[in-house]
Amino acid sequence: MKVRLNKFLSECGIASRRKSEEFIIDGRISVNGKRITDLAYTIDEENDVVALDGEKIKQQKKVYFLLNKPKGYITTTNDERGRKKVTDLINTNHKIFPVGRLDYDTTGVLLLTNDGDFSNFLTHPKNHIPREYEVVLNEKLTIEDKEKLLKGVILDGRKSKFEEIYPMFKGYYDKLKVKTVEGRNHFVKRMFGILGYRVEKLNRSSFGVFKVKDIPVGSYQKLSYNEVQECYKTYAR
């Protein structure tokens, strides 16, 4: 069966489809010994031999993990500085990667998988998949600033906003819950930073249908096929 090369790479768990395209453009992918840089290139997944940096790629069974990320771990699969990685916390023989990113000091919901299509579905802006965060600020958020963040402020040259903002405890406007469909790097911290606030603690309490309220910090659970399909059904457009 013929499939596009970038789709094959993502389905093999190499990376998300967009990241796989970077590998192709950079000339790191070969098919039957020939380097391929054409993003539209298709392969016969039954017969063609595909390699990344000269190493043959094998198709893998899809796996999905829900981690309650602790502080002090980075959300990349490689680090030249030798820092602790979130993949170190998952006991699996599969080559997995995190879905999106959480900062080094941010905790909470993080999904890891070898399914590039699922990762792309969750992170693609068009799907508007909600993320909810628990935020501790250095000072109380004023009503005026709350309204600004809900109506929209300019970030990266475009209007950006939170969908909801409310206190975690009645009257405590330095301890908040915010909901957003944005997945840009450091989005929550940067949004508050525009108005002069500093985020002192940040915990992602949910990502789409996934929550970690029953999973201890630093622990994880394996997701079932049905749980993954529920996410697709909930947010498919």
> Distance between CA atoms of 204 and 217, rounded to whole angstroms?
12
Contacts of 24 (CB under 8 A, 6+ apart): 5, 6, 9, 36, 37, 38, 39, 41
> Distance between CA atoms of 211 and 53, rounded to whole angstroms?
37
Whole-number CA gyration radius for the chain: 20
User: Is 103 part of the annotated catalytic residue set?
Assistant: yes
| 3-state SS, residue 47 | coil
> Distance between CA atoms of 150 and 160, rounded to whole angstroms?
9
> Catalytic pick from 103, 105, 117, 174?
103
Residue 150, class by beta-carbon neighbours within 10 Å (0-12 exposed, 13-18 middle, 19+ buried)? Answer: middle
Tokens linked to 124: 């693609």
Contacts of 147 (CB under 8 A, 6+ apart): none
> Distance between CA atoms of 103 and 199, rounded to whole angstroms?
12
* Cβ atoms 99, 113 nearer than 8 A: yes
- CA 78-73-192 angle, to 5 degrees, is 115
Catalytic residue list: 103
